[in-house]
Amino acid sequence: MKQAHPYEEVAFDIYPLSQMGGDLGLGRRGRLTKPSNLKSVIAAVKRRTGLKRLTIVQADGRRMMKTAAVCPGSCRDLTAQIAGKVDLYVTGELRHHDALLLQSRGTNAIALGHGNSERPALKHLAKMIQHALPPVTTFISTRDDDPIHSV
C-alpha cells in the first residue's frame, strides 16, 4: 500500500481474523453411528432433508458402510481426495467423471442437489451471525428454492 501511495498518508485498519465456532472447513469425514447399507442411508437422508429425490452413485449397495464424508455444494477438489477412503460420500452435486472415480474406488455417493445440501446449515449460520452481531437482524428467506427440478 505504501509503495503504491508514497506521496500521502494512507488510511487503513488491521483486523485480526478468527474462525467463529472453532474448526471450520470444506467438509467432514467420520464414522457412522452404526453400520448401515445404502438403502437405509438413502431413506434416512430423505427423511432428514425432506427431499423426495436424490442422485446416487452405487459402488456396492449391499456392503455395510461404516465411514462417511460430507461436503455441501460441489466440492469438486474434495471428491478425488476421499474416493476409496470412505464407504459413503454425501454432497451437493457430482460431475460424471467424479462419479466414475468414486464408483471405481468402491465409494457409494449421494448427491442432494447443490442448494439442498447447503440449506440445512442456514438456521445454525443465522444463529451464529445473530450471536456474533447482536444489532443485526437475521432471517432465512422463505422464497429460496432449488432452481433445478426433477420431473
Q: Which residue has the cell 487503513?
A: 12
What is the structure's pLDDT at 23? 52
What is the structure's pLDDT at 142? 85
| Cα–Cα distance for residue pair 50/112, rounded to 1 Å | 11
DSSP one-letter code for 62: T
User: Which domains does the chain possess?
Assistant: 28-121 (3.40.1390.30)
pTM equals 0.75
81, 103 Cβ separation under 8 angstroms: no
Q: Worst-scoring range by mean pLDDT, 11-25, 46-60, 76-90? A: 11-25
Alpha helices in 22-136 (DSSP H): 38-49, 76-82, 96-104, 114-118, 122-132
Q: Phi, psi at residue 40, to the nearest 5°?
A: -70, -30
pLDDT band at 69; cut points 50, 70, 90: very high
Q: Which residues does residue 71 pair with via DSSP β-bridges, in sequence order?
A: 91
